[in-house]
Amino acid sequence: MAVATPSSYSITMRLHTSTDYAVVGRVATAIAEQGGIVTAIDIADSRHDRLVVDATCSGFDLNHTDGLVEAVEAIDGVKVHKVSDRTFLLHLGGKIEIKSKVALKTRDDLSMAYTPGVGRVSMAIAKNPEDARRLTIKGNTVAVVTDGSAVLGPGNIGPEAAMPVMEGKAALFKQFADIDARPICLASRDTEEIIRAVEMIAPGFGGINLEDIAAPRCFEIERRLRESPDIPVFHDDQHGTAIVVLAALRNALRVVDKWLEESRIVVSGGGAAGSAIVTLLLSAGAKDVIVYDREGLLSADDTSLSRDKLELAQRTNPRKVRGDLGDGLQGADVFIGVSAPNLLKAEWIRDNMADDAIVFAPANPDPEIDPAEAAKYAKVVASGRSDYPNQINNVPAFPGVFRGLLDARAEDITTEMLIRAADAIAGVVKDEEINPSYIIPSVFHPDVADAVAVAIAGEGKTSSGVTGPIKTGSRATAAPVDETGTLPRVR
């Protein structure tokens, strides 16, 4: 049976029971016997003829929670009156809001915040457009833009269905970096329309965060937008993932006492995240990286590859290894998965990979291999799951990245910035703390966002008062970026 988690599939059952208080114990036992986790049992009302009991518990999926309800309903003297899904309750009315920062209680207030006083501010911005960052929300506002075509987990679900995810992203921006983010869900899959829409809304934002747009369309959209608005454009699915993977790998290599430049790395998945990870690893000094995708191991001498896959192959696989994933893992030090569930076999880690292997399996919702299985043979294991150590997701990266970009009033983001951000995250884990089960700081670690912000902005001070630069204990040093210092264009 899969392991239940305390939140994702959490329900509260309103129960009408007999007046026997021992029924509470029977309810808890029934849930536990079915593999559920009881997080709370409260007697909401006690009458002479019945008890009203609220039982809150968690399962591992919808079928499991349905089974928990059935198990409770089968208890003598218990009737399930109502079942509430706590995740849906949390989303009622949406997760974010807009509030005024100024008091509007008198005519005097209105005359400054609105007409006629606001006209003076508008005219000042008309004369000097750069003042918009200082005198409006632009300087602290990010657009979270999606077309709903590649939402993590559900996939191609459309802009309306993507809204809860974008709201969640906006909430994380506010929580971890005090940035006001706005979900922008576009009803178009046309590359030109999306580019034009973002260009038209850009004056109201200090940065653009592209989110959950399917490959290969996302590559062209990001490339074109980075050439157009005078504000930074960041595709989180690509570069946020790459930053956190590089940070985790820096520390995993510290654990096993290996060097990035000397390690053999296999990346499973040549899409948006995989391409960005490869680009950042190579820029950080990796020499031997192989990419596995639907076509097998990508190699520059494979004439059947598409243009995008061929371009990726030409930058990787220096030994021209061909075959399946197992072949690529021969002698590999590191496996990084951004692909699909259950692709990696435990015996490949045991028989094919080098000693003290590092396995990252962050595919969501189901990883490339069960982390517990991987841990039998790998020295360091990371996944995208919150119920295992070393969770890899984008949250440690993007809030601090945009905090630094906004504070620096940056117009672009470079590869050097991304590497500095990864080193900053890695450096939050101190030498005395690092071990195989702790290579990446928690998203709730108080130092992460500020460390990343300072690293992105370089020398100077963030809005939260933290000064730079950040020093890390990373084993591998960053290789020089390209001569322009800009982010390589990834197809």
What letter would DSSP give residue 48?
S
Helix (H, G, I), strand (E, B) or coil at 11: strand
Instruction: Report the phi/psi class of residue 188: left, alpha or beta, with left for phi > 0 and alpha for psi in -120 to 50.
Output: beta
C-alpha 269/C-alpha 277 separation (Å) is 10
CA angle 259, 260, 261 (to 5 degrees): 95
Tokens of 450: 């500020």
* Residue 169 among the catalytic residues: yes
Question: Which of 305, 311, 251 has its CA nearest to residue 279?
Answer: 311
Contact (Cβ atoms closer than 8 angstroms) between residue 308 and residue 298: no
Cis (ω within 30 of 0) for the bond into 318? no
Contact (Cβ atoms closer than 8 angstroms) between residue 353 and residue 335: yes
Q: Which of 169, 258, 309, 388 is catalytic?
A: 169
Of 21, 79, 114, 376, the catalytic one is 114
CB 357 within 8 A of CB 333: yes
Residues ≥6 apart with Cβ < 8 Å to 101: none
The answer to whether residue 114 is catalytic is: yes
The candidate with the shortest Cα–Cα distance to 201, out of 182, 220, 216, 226, is: 182
Rounded Cα gap, residues 142 and 140, in angstroms: 7
DSSP code string of 292-313: EETTEE--TT-TTS-HHHHHHH
- Write the CB contacts of 123 (distance below 8 Å, at least 6 apart in sequence): none
User: How far is 353 from 325, CA to CA, in rounded Å?
Assistant: 11
Residue 376 burial by Cβ neighbours in a 10 Å radius (0-12, 13-18, 19+)? exposed
**CA 245, CA 280: separation in Å to the nearest integer?**
9
Residues designated as active site: 114, 169
